[in-house]
Structure formats: C-alpha cells, structure tokens
Structure 1
Amino acid sequence: MKRETILFPKKPHSLLTLITGSVVITISLLLFPGAWFIQKSFENQLEIEKLKELNQINLSWTSDLDRWLADAKHSILRFSTLVSNLPESDTPDNVALFDSLVAPGADESFRSNRASFSPASEAGIWIPNGASLTPGTKSFFVEAKKVTQHFGQGALSNFENIWILPKQGGIIIFWPNEPEFIYEATNDLDYTASQWVTLTRPDRNPKGLPQLTKVSYDPATGAWMVSIVAPYYRQGKWAGAVGHDFPISKLARQMKGVKLHHEAAQLLIRHDGTLLLSDQFSEKIEASNGHFQIEDTHDDALKKIFDANINTSPLTFPDNIVRDGHRIFMLHHINEADGLFITITPEDALLTLAKKSYRAIWMLGGLALFLLTLIPVVVICRMVLPPVNRLVSGIKKVSRGNLEYRFVQSGSKEFCYISEALDKMVQGILSSKKEDKQKEASLKKIKNVIDFERKKLKSIFEAMNDIILICDTSGRLIETASSKSKFFYRPPDEIIGKHLDDIFTPEKATFFMDAITTSVSRKAPVKIDYELTIDGHPLWFSASISPMPPDQVVCVIRDITNRKKTEEQLRQSEEKFSKIFSMTPSIVTITRLEDGCFIEANKGFEDVTGWKRDEVIGRTSTEIGFWGSPTSRPDMVASLKAGNDLFNKDVSFRRKDGSLRMGLYSARLIHLSGVVLILSVVQDITEIKKMEDDQQKLQNQLFQAQKMEAIGVLAGGIAHDFNNILSALFGFTELAKMEAGDNELMKKYLDSVSTAGLRARDLVGHILTFSRKSDVKRQEIFIDPIIKETLKFIQASLPSNIRIHQDLRVKHARIMGDAIQIHQVLMNLFTNAGHAMKNKGGKLEVVLDMIAIDQTDTRQFNKIKPGLYYCLMISDTGCGIPQAIIDRIFEPFFTTKNREEGTGMGLSTVFGILKEMAGGISVYSEEGIGTTFKLFIPAHAQSSGLDTTPLESKPISGEGNILIVDDEEPIVQSSQAILSSLGYSVTGTTSSREALEEIEKKPKFYDLVLTDMTMPEMDGLTLARRIKAISPEIPIVLCTGFSHVLTKEMCRSVGICDLIMKPMIAGELSKAVNSALNKRPGKETHDARSDH
C-alpha cells in the first residue's frame, strides 16, 4: 500500500502563513534568472534611450533651423516685394537728394558721403566707377536706401544685415556692425556674376523663390557667411537680388550643443552634396571657399547613405537610424535648406554611455527586490488581518438577529466593498418591513387627496366664465361642468342627454359636428369661432374641442365678443395708421431699440434715402451707414431710455449713394408684442440748411467787402497826407543837392535821403494797391519786380525770427495779368506763411523759374493747358497743414484760424485769380515740417507793347511864367525853388482864392498853372474850371496825393492837360511842366536836358 503525500494538510494554516510563504517562494524563483534577463534588457533599452535622446536633440535643432530659415525666406520675400513696388518715375527732389548723399571717392567710385553717413540708422550706397547714373537710377537708389534702412531696423535682430544688388552693379546695404564696408569696396568688386545674383536670375530661378547660397568668405568682416537671396523686379522684369547674410560661426556654436559624445561627428549637407557645416571638415570647407563636396570626404558609407536618403520624405525615429557595423548614422531632413543633417556616433561610444547607466540601475534593482520581499509581509500583518477579523465578528452578530448592527468600512477597497454589501443586505431586510407599514399609510393619504382635488376642481369649473361640456362622437351632451345657461337658451339640466340639433340651429349644429369629427379623426384639439344672437344682441364665442378616449370629446366654450370688438377697432386703427405712415413725405421708420434693426419704413424713406424698403427690413441703421455721425444713434437712444421724447433734433444722415443730408429728428418709444421699438420721423432740411449757409456766406462776404472798403478809405487819407510830406522832402533834397556843388560826400548823403524817400513812396503805393478795388485790366506786366516789391512790403510785418530767401532765376518774367491781383495773390500766400511760422520762426523761401508742361503733366496741375509757365514756389517751415483738411483749403470761407485772424477767403481768392489767368496751383504739406505752394502762371511771348527802358530822371530846363498853388507851404517853397533853378519864373501861393485873384489881375501873364487837388478853400477841379473861364489858353497841371474818383478823363473834361501824383521828384516835375508848356498853341519851351 502506497503512502499518500499530503501537500496541504487538512488542518488549515493561518492566512498570514500562506501569504508570506507564497511571496518568499515566488521571489526566490524569479531572482536569479531575472537578474540576467534584466541586465540584457537594460543594455538594449538604455541604448535605445540614448538614441532617442540624440534624436530629440537633433530634431529640436533641425526644427529650430527650419523655422529660422523659413523666417529668413519670409523676411526676404517681404523685402523683395517692397523694393519691387518702389515708384518707377524719377523726381527732382530724389535726384538732388542723391547728389547730396553720395560723392565720388579717390577711385572714382561713388559711396555714401562719410560726413553725413550714419551707419547705425542709415543704409550705405556703393556704385562702381563707370556705372550709368541716370535720373531714374539716382531716384531708385534714394528710394531703395529709405526702404532698406527702414526694413533693416526691424529685421536685424535675427540677421547680420540686409542688402540690394542691382543687376547693373553697385550695392545698397544696411549693416550697422560693419560701418566701413562700403568704403573698403574696390572697383574690381563685381557682384553681378556672384552666386548672390546668379541664384536669382530667371534662367536659374524661374519661380523667383528664396535660395540659400554656399558658404563664402567675407574679406571685409573676416567671417564665413551663408546668405538667403531672392530676386526683385522693376516694371515686371528681373532687376537684381536682395538678401540677408548670417555668419556660419553662430550655427556652428549651436550645432556643438547637440553632441552626446566627443567622438561623434556632425554634418549639414545641401541637396547638391555641398557641405555647409561640419565640425570634422570645417577647415577643408573654408579652404575650398565653400565648395567642399561629400565626395571629398572619401567616406563611401556616408556618400551611399546621403544619396539614398536625400530625395526621400522626412524619416521618423527609428527609421532615421542607419548602421554600417561600427557606426550609427542619424539622419534629419532640413526642409528649408533642402538638405540633410547627419550625426555619426561610434557604437562603442554609445555602449559605453549605456553601461555607465545600467550599473547604477542594477544596484537599485537589488535593493528593490529585497524590499519587495519584506514589504508584503508587513502589509499583510498590518492591513489584511484586522479587517477580516472585524467582518467575521459582524456576521456573527447579524446572524443572531441584531439587524441594527452596521458594518464599519475599513481596510483596502475590496474590504470596503464587502462591508458595504453586507451593510446594504441588512438594511434591505430592515427596510422591507418598514415599507409595508408606509404603503398602508400612503394609500390612505392618496385617497384623501383625490377626494379633495375632485371637490376643488368642481368649484373651479363652477367659478369659471367658460362652459365645459362632454359629448359623445354623435353630438349628444353627456355632462356639463358649469351652471351657466346663456349659451343654450335654457338651464344645463334641461339639455343633458339632448343632441346638438336640439340646442343649435341646423347650420350651427352641422358646424359643431364637423369640428367634432375633425378632432376625433386627427386625435388633436380643434378651435372654432362662431356667432350667436341672444336677446337680440350678436355675440361671438370660441370653442376648443379635444378628443377624450374612448368615444367622447370635451368642449370648452368662451365668450369672445369684447375681443372681437377690440380686434375690429385695432384693424381700423392699423388701416388708418398705415395710410398716414405710407403717405407722409418725411422719413418714417420703426426700428428696434436694442440694435436699430428696421421693422418698417415708409415711401418717404425710399424717396429721400434712395433705399428700397425690402433692402433695409431686417438690417440695422448702422449696417447701411444711415447715421452721419457715429454718436448720433447712441445719443438718441440714451435720451429715449431716460424717458424723454425727441422733437426736431438736428441730425445728419446718409443716402444710399453716400451723400450727406441734414434733417430734424423726432422719436418716441412704442411697445409691440413685448418688444421695445422706436417710432421716428425725419424731415429732410438739407436744402433749407444750404440756403441758410449761402445766406451766411453772402453776409460774411459783404462784411469783408465793407471792411476792405473802409480800409481803402483810411489808406487813401493816410496816403494823401504822407505824399504831401514826401513831396516837400523830395523837393528840399533836390535843392540841397543843387547847392552842394562839388561836395561829393554831401551829395552821397542826400542821395541816401532820396532813396529812402523813393522807398517810402513805393510803400504808400503798395498800401493803395492793396486797399483799392477796381475792375481787372489785364496787360503785359513783369512779375519779378512785383515779387520783390511785395517781399519788401511784407518783410516789415513779419517777426524778426523769420528769414526770407528769394531766388528769382528769371528776369523780365512777362505775363498777361493785373498787377493788383498778382500783388493780392502774393500778399495772401506770404501772410499765410508768416502765420504758420509765427510761434517758432523759420524760413520763407521764394523761387521763380520757367518750366514747360506737356500733355502728361497737365493731370498733375489742375488740367492746365500744355505750354511754357512761370513756376513760383513759396515754401515755409511752419506747422504744416493736416492731411484731413488739405483738400478743402481752397473752399470759400474755409479757415482754421480764429475769427479775429482770418475769414477763409484768402486761398479761395488765390485759386480764383489763377484760374481766371488760365494758370494753376498745387500744394504739398507735412505737419511739423512745412508747406510748399507752387503757382503756374502762363508765360507771355515778347512784344513791343511793354517798354523796359528806364525813364530819364534828370530835370529839364525851360522858360515861362508859372503859378504854383498848394495849401502846404513846404511844397510851394520846394517846387518854386526847383523850377526857378531850371530857368522858369515862378509865383507861389498857399491860397486857391489868392491864385484866382492873381489870374484875374494878369490873365495873359502866366504860361502855366500848377495846382493841388485837395485844398480847404477851393479844390483843384473847381479852381481849374474858374481859371479856364477867365483864360481858356492857360495850361493847368493838377497834382494830388490820392483820390478814389479822380481820373485823367475827368481832368481833361474841365481843361486840365495833365494829372501827376505826389510825391514828385525834380525830374518828374520838370517833365510834366515841359510837356504842358509844349502843348500850348504857339509856345515852345527850351527843351534841353539839365544836370541840375
């Protein structure tokens, strides 16, 4: 008999003994075999982790390089677009600016002028000797310089520099770190055949894409560079290259940071096999001037791997790893450089790194195995056994009938689930007993509630004005829930069990039956309205009929007579409102308060605004651009929300065509269907406003004319008295010069007095010209003397901190015009320039030149006709004119000055005068820099009608008896002395009455009478008439300082032979006397020139 082996004895062991033994046996079986397996796994895993780490580092570096290159290409494309869009035409300003910025050097090549060149903020220019410098080329270099330095200041945080290489030669470059670059360039430097230009040629780069150059050495900086280049175009044709440079050293430093082992090698190879970067072959790359190819490495494995992967799609880990038996090649595509980044790591070096890591891991693993043996035993003792003992104790108590016992949830999650399940089981037993008792109590409560609700529902039905009926589908009344009888002509208890035919007329009964049939067939409520005549009054009712299974219907009937009356009144009101709404010519709209959405618009809205009703319904007033001001609607809404109705508020609104109109706005809030709306009326008052504005402008114009007339009267009075003073001054000065003899110094002083007097006379003439108003008489005049005279006149009124520079490049500039109008134009422009510079001072520059305007240029100058024009340029360095108003400065009454400073008619007058002369005007202004006006005045051809020979100013001697009459004693004395010195016999008096008495006494004695116009006793015209009445043959010459109405025709009508203006110098006086005496019949004076 065999002996039975018992592995598990019938006597049970404790739970602690079983679990502890199992853990010890399992760990022992796994410890030694697992050690070898873990070692091998660690070696393979660590090698993979190192490769992943290297892959991540390389991927990060290549991604940064791709992103950086993409930014560089995007930057250079934007710069290429800016250069290609530069203006094509040349301008005189740009040509002049080029000549000031660029100067030839010792080698005759052109460079930026070192004295004014600031490399930190400006782009430099270098142009080789022999390059063609047309005005267009100069203008392009100036514009290209501006855009290069502006673009470079924002882009050089990522790049070394930015440059432009025109295909004709030369360079524009912004390189703050190399200020000497353009000065070290020599004439033998030819960029046109370099890779920087050839890579952008259409035959090499037909799509015009950015290109990455080979590595090149820059002798100016002593650094190896790589460039991003792109073409630019002029008039749609390739014109050259633009580009960024960046040093290779920066990329090399970044590339060194991605090594895991010092024996590893790194290569950045372009798609054509050119090595751009390599720590292993850096010297050979530099020695080959950037042309070092992958074949030159003599590494066949590297060449084979490169050729196999350069044209493939980007590889991911671990497909980007290639092994040749002793080296590991890791490949990454550089998309933007169209090349590969390759890391070569010896396998032994990678294994050495892995072994360093897994030794430490092995030691930690042994310690972990020991802890795994110890910890389960401790956990079992501390956490498993106590919860099990508590569960066993609780089960025993429940089994003895203690249903109130609760299992405490403690220990692990499984023990908590067991405790919870046992607790629910005990509670379920306890709850089932309690539920039986509660159900009995609930049924009793439900019965009481049903009885109560039944009574309440009956009370509600009896209190309602509605009748509730229950009928069967054949129309027989089964029950009513109301005691009302007005719908049926009799009490309800008399109609229960009756058919509808017995209650209503046949027509109404049929109507009801149709509704009942429809409700039953559709299984849905049906509503009907019907009319009954009760006690002679027509009443309206509404019935709602609903099916009630299985074969009955419920009818709810309500009196709607008042509602019907209200609806009819509302309909009539709406019809009346609709007629008024549509017929009024004003704009009437209904819009939502919340967002301004149009709900309704009348025909007046369509007629005034041009919008059709269907075009705006559902759209907001802001969306269609109705309001002239963006604040108009918010202000109106705020006022309406505050409870204020609006009445005749001034608003501006726009028509569909964009034209601005003025209106009176009235509005109030209304409520329809719970929505707050705005009912608004707008009356178009644009034409009324325009009439009011025109009237105001006419009033302003009248006021200005009256003011100018008053100024003219005042100026005339001043001129009269001042000319009398000047007449005495000229006279006594001439006399003093006659008495000076050979005293040249005295004559020189007296000539200065005469010169000052002439300037004073010219000043008075300018005042009179400015103030008087007369008809325009265009004739041949020279404009350059008027410019000089006006500048002298205006200089006295300008502040001392304003400098005047005049450059009149044309002499005897002949035009057809009115001197007064030309003077007025100049005074307006000079005054405006002075006002613009009154605070800070500045420079007023006046340049006169002749230009030819062809058919192309006329579009730039207000469409004036082609031909020769005098261009008068008036420039100031004042505050400038804002661009927002520069198009309005020639409008009448438009001004930015205060009322005390201007009326707004100055520039309007200038524009009108030039337009009448068939000329034009242009303006250019920049705020804070200044303003330039250019006047284009047609040049007049040479003719004999305008004499440029100066008048002879020497006195003329003669013979004869002359009577001089003037109320100013100094004038009589000086004139008497001058004429006496010329050989005349002169009698002088200050009284016109004494002069008349002298003629009465000696009517045949005097050969000539010289009289003033304005005298206290008798004016010159009256005296002339009375002298002519006594002695008709006596010639009379009339003198005056100023007169608004006196003309030579008026003088001739009373017998006066000549009219001369004060002040008179000796030559003018003697000439007038000589001419008058020669006109006397039978008389001739001695007409010899005198040197007095």
Structure 2
Amino acid sequence: MAKESTHPVGSGWLKYFLNRDGLMLGSGMFLELLLSISALLIRSAMYSSGEAFRAFFSFISPSQLFLINSCIGFFAATLIAAGLIKLAYRLRITVNARYWVYVASGLFIVYRSFDILQSYRWQAIGTFLGTSQPVDLYISNVLLVSSCLSLLIGLVRALLDSDLANKTLESQNTVLIYQIHQLQRLEENARKNETQLTVLLNSISSPIFFTTVDGIILACNDTFVRLFGKGETDLKSRHLRDVLPFHLFLQGKNCAEEVAASGEMQFFKGKHRDRVYECTMYPVVVYSGEISHICTLALDITEKLRAEEELRLLEAAVSNTAESIMITDTEGEIKYVNPAFEIMTGYTAQETKNRPSSFLGDQSQTKVSFREMWRTLQQGQVWRGIFLNKRKDGSSYEEKATISPITDEQGCITHYVAVKRDVSQEQQMEQHLIQIQKMKNLGLLAGGIAHNLNNALTIILGRSELALELMAADEPARESIGVVIRTAQTSSKLIKQILTFAKQNSKEAEVVKVGPLLQESIKVMRSCFPTNITIHENINALNALALVDPNELQQIVVNLLENSQHALQPDGGSIDISLDLIDLEEVTPTLTGNLPSGRYLRFTVSDTGHGMDPQVAEHAFDPFYSTKDVGEGMGLGLSTVHGSVKRVGGGIRLYSSPGAGTTIEIFWPEEKMRPLKPAFAVESKPDGKGISVLVVDDLQDIVEMMVVGLKSYGFQVKIFSDSASALEFMEQDPAAIDIAVLDYMMPKMNGIELAKRLRAFKPDLPSVLLSGYRMDVSDGEAKEVGFVAILSKPILIEELARTLVRYAKTSDQEPPVV
C-alpha cells in the first residue's frame, strides 16, 4: 500500500508561489488583473461623467492615463513571461512543450507592446493603412488569442510527453522486477555457499581471506577478523586498504599484481603487531581461464625469525653507530670493537682483539680511578666517566665512556660493553668558555679599580702641577714635585693598560697596513735584545689591511717579544716572527672566543725557550699573573694583548709545552678598505681670559683642584658637585657659561644625561667629558649631546686648558675623541 502523503494537497504550489520565481508570476498576474479593472473604471468614468472626470484629472489627459496603464501592463507581461519560463524549467517539461511556453510568453509581451502603441496613438495601424476599419483592435485580439493558444498547446504537449514517459517507466519497472527476483534466487544460493565456506575458513587457525583481483574482501575467517577487524565482526565487501595496515596493503598489492600477471602463487613476508607472517597468495581460476579471485593464507613465523632479526638489527646498529663500542670479557680483554672505534683510535679490530682495554690509556694523565670503576662494574652497576687515551699515532684524546655489565640468564656477568664518545673538542670549548668568563669578570674588577685610581691620580697630578706653578724656579722642592708628576704619569700609563684589558679604554682603531707597522716595531726591539738571541723575521702580507690601533699593535709586539726574551734567558736562543694571510674554513675556537670562518691576518711569535706546563699556560693571559721574579713584571703584558685583540674581533691561540718553546698566534680579520682620519691642530699656549667654564664633578677634591688650576690660566670658573645644582644655575643664567666640563660617573645623573639637559637651556653649549674609564660613546653621539672632546683621567690642567680654549672659541669644529 502506498504511503499516504503527510503534506496537504497543493502545498508544493504554495511553496512555489512563496519563492522568488513564484512571486514573479503571481505579481505579474495580479498587476494584469488590477490594470484590467483600472482600464474599465477609467472608461466608465469618462463616458458616464465626462466633464467631472476631466475637471478632477485636469493635470493629466485620458490618453496619458491609458499610456501609463499600458506601460505598467508591459511590465506585468514581462513578469508573467519570466515566471512562466521559470515554472516550465521547474516542472521539467519536455523541450518541445517548453518551446510553446516561449512562444506564448513572447506573443503576450508583443500584445502588451502593441497596447502601448495604441495608448500613444489610437488606430495607428488603421490610419497608416488608410482604412476606417478597427484594424488595430483586430491585431490586438489576434495577439492575445495567439498567446493563449500557444500556452494551451504547450500544456497539451507537456501532458502527452508525460504520458509517454510514464508508459516507458512502467515497461522498465517490469523488467527490473524480474531481474530482482532472479537476483534474490542467486543471493539465496550464494548465502548457502557462504555458510559452508565460512565454516571451512574458521576451522583454519591462520588468517585466510578471499578477495577480488581489485582487493575487495569476499570472505575471511575469524582469525583474520580478530587481527585486523578493529572491533568489527564483518569485513565482507571492505577494501583491503581500509582493513590492513598501509605497509601490509602495499606488500599485498604488489604480490597480487604478480599473481594476476603470472597466474602462479606468490609469497611475501609481512609484519603486524610484532608478529611476522609468511603470506602465500593462490590464484582462483574460473572455467574461462581468467583469475576471478585470490586466496591468501598467512602463516605465523615470528618465533622463527625473531632471533635472526634481533641479531641483524644489533649488528647493524653497532656497526653503523657513530659512537665507539667495545666489548670485553670479565678480565678486561677486548673481544669486539666496532668501526667507529677503529676510526677514533686508529687501531684495527685485529690489532685490539684479546688485548687488555687499558693499553689505550695515558696512565700518566688519566682522569679516572680504575679501581673504583672495576668495583662499580663488578657490583652489576653502570659506570660513567672520562678517559684520557692515546691513539695509535700517539696523539691524546678525551672520551666520555658509559660501561655496562652484560649478564646471562642466571644474572652472572659474562662481558662488559663500553659506549664511548670523543669529547676532546667539547672539553676545549668548555675550557675556553670558562677562560672567557673569567677574563670578563677580571676585566670588570680591573675597570672598577682603575676608575678609582684615575680619580686619585687626577688630584695628585693637578695639585702637583699647581704646586710647580706656585714655586719659584730655584725652589729645591720642584725636583720632588717633578718626581711625583712623572710617577703619576707612569701610573696613568699602567692604568690605561688595565683599562684596555677591561675593554673600557677603547682607543681609536683604524684600518691600517699591519706589515709595515710590525716591521717598524720589530726594528726598534732588535736593538734592545742581547746578542745571544736571534730574531728571524718573515713578514709576507705587507699590503694586507686590518682594523687595529697602531699604538696597541706596537704594545702587542713589545709584550710578546719581552715574554719571549725572558723565556730564552740565560742561555739565549731564537725568536721566529711571521705575518701571513690564512683562510679559516670553519669556526675556530680561540682564547678570545670562537672565530667565524673567513680570511685573517695571522701574526705568529715563536721562541725556543723553556716553554710552559699546562697549569701555567692556562693562566698565561690572566691579569697580574706572572712567573717572573718580584720586580721584573706585574703580569699585565699578555692580559693587555688579550684585551686589545678581542676588542677588534680578533683571536689568540697558545701552543706551549715544557722544553719545547712557546708559540703565540694572533688573528685579525682582514679588511678591504682604508678610511681617512681627519687631523686637527692644537694650540700651544692656553689663555682662558674671558672664557667662563662650568665644572661639575661629584668629587670635591677634583673640583677644588680644577678651580685653582683653571683660574691660574685666566678662566672664570663656576663649580658644582651635583647635577641638580648645575641645572638650576643654568636655568637662571644660561648665557653666563661658555663651555662645560662634566664628569661621566656621578650619582643620579651621569655626564651624558647632564649634557643633554644643559643644552635645553643653551643649545649651542660645548661640553668636555671627563672619565676615569672609557664609555661606549661614538663621535656622532658625542656631537649630538654637545661634547667637543672626551678626556680620560688623569689629565694635566694645562692639557684641559688647551682643550677649553680651543673649543670655547671654535665650537663649530668636529668633536674628536682625545
């Protein structure tokens, strides 16, 4: 019995008229109805009350009213035509019937167009033809009737086509019902066969399944479902790609293609859930000789293959690992080494077999206690540590080892396996990092000490200079005061070396030709050496450029050659000095840090002296570390070299051993261009008359010394010991100051910040910055905040006076760093 519709009759048409297409057709029909009614009403009003009608519609003529009515009718006809065409497509009527809908729609639009013509000019066609017959009315009626007839013919044609389609469908349904009955009988027979096949398949303990050549499962046993069903109980009609793991599916697909191509059974091995199966595929051939199905039987061979698989994997892992692996017996005799061991030590497996593992060790420098190691291993525990061993070529290397005991089924130790890794480079890098951090900390300490010493020396030099000015020329004490000044200046040079080491006295580095400067420095040093020391000079890269401070370069040569001279005493020897260009192809560790790959100038100083043991070499570049006798050195030579080289991005390497001499290599990155550096003239006699100076320093002794000293040169001096007071004074009378002298390190506000604040009151105020250590201030930054000179403490009052006179009168010059 057909199911009764739950929708009311006509609900489909209601939904149609509520959508856009239905609204279009309905709106057009509704407009046509309204227009017909309005036309009748207008004609009736005109004929029944003509004068009243004309009086009421005096603003528009009757012909204009009919024209408006016709235009709206044309619009309604367009809506009806579009709605009918949309309805025809919605009902899916035949193409022939749809053509009549097109004709009817077109005729109706033409009818409405003709109506517009009639409204514009009545009897236009009749007038044109010269007849009094109502030809226009005939044409209008013919168009309207033709439109309706076309629509009716289209409807009839649609009904005829629909009836023909229904008859064709009934015929096809009859054939389909017969085929369904036939299929039902075949399905019943197949179901019986399937039941028998299922019993047979489930009696087999190994996975077995039948598939089409394309991989569709036709039948399978419970073992196959249990392994691959993932909780499902029926896998029939499923494709193997949806059931099997991807790797098994690919293997089976390739094997099935070989079966289909050859017509013979094929084998492959597959793994699933840690079980290995040997799969055999049998072709199932029908009477025509074609392969219709494939039967696959999988036998579990896991236990058979597990042992040899584990051995194969173990052998491959041990042979291909980058770690050195060594197996010994309980007595420590080597039984096996892998290829990585041969690469690391230089010994072949045959050369090490049955030899004690201790033959590799450097017994004089070993870092482990073998007794403790054996105690740990014999207790069945894992031991970890570092060995210092020797390769076959005699070179030493450090290896990090992990040694584990191997036990049998009873828990007895039968062998030991050692996994080792060469950590020589890692150890060197670690030592370099420790050394760099230590040098950094010592540099900070040295910088702080030097800052305080410079302040003290400033007072000593300033007061001594003032004392000399006040003394008569024949005063006996003048000599003593001169000794104080010279001693203070010598101490100042020492402090500058400390500041260079601490990276706080950043001198002016420039791009120069290193070779000629080295030759000049070596030439000067030759005359200072005793005759039992020979200097061999090999300066090759004469035109190579590097970023260095020429003064620091000279100091580097002096310090290195003095150290070599000391190492050659008293017997003498030779010193080899060379300069060449080299290419570093990889990152190179040095005492100043890692050097990136690139092209470098290498300056080498090598002597044949007594050399250094590892403990001395480790501290050679530490400040204040010296092996010389008391009074012969302060231990700042090599530390100064370290600071100078590191500051310009260079590197240092040290090679030394007792009795074999010492070699020091210095690397500077090669530069490709030389900048020009401007020079300026310095006045010889300072005269501060008429110049007003603002002095700000938090140390009262320095302020008072500067007041007395600068006044002696004719300056007018205004002093302050704090920044706030100086700012308050400048705010009240900025024109009273011509130039300012500012200390860098002051509480609450440093000299740079104070200079910025001062320029807010006097934008063109030049300033001179004083500091006990060097700040990281570039020339551009100095000029921006008004600094015309940066002077390092201690400084002579005369030098400060020259600077003030120069820039107070010519404050538009470039600000060099003094």
TM-score when normalising by structure 2: 0.41
Which protein, 1 or 2, shows the higher relative CO under an 8 Å CA cutoff with sep ≥ 6? 2
Q: Which has more radius of gyration?
A: 1
Q: Which has the higher helix share?
A: 2
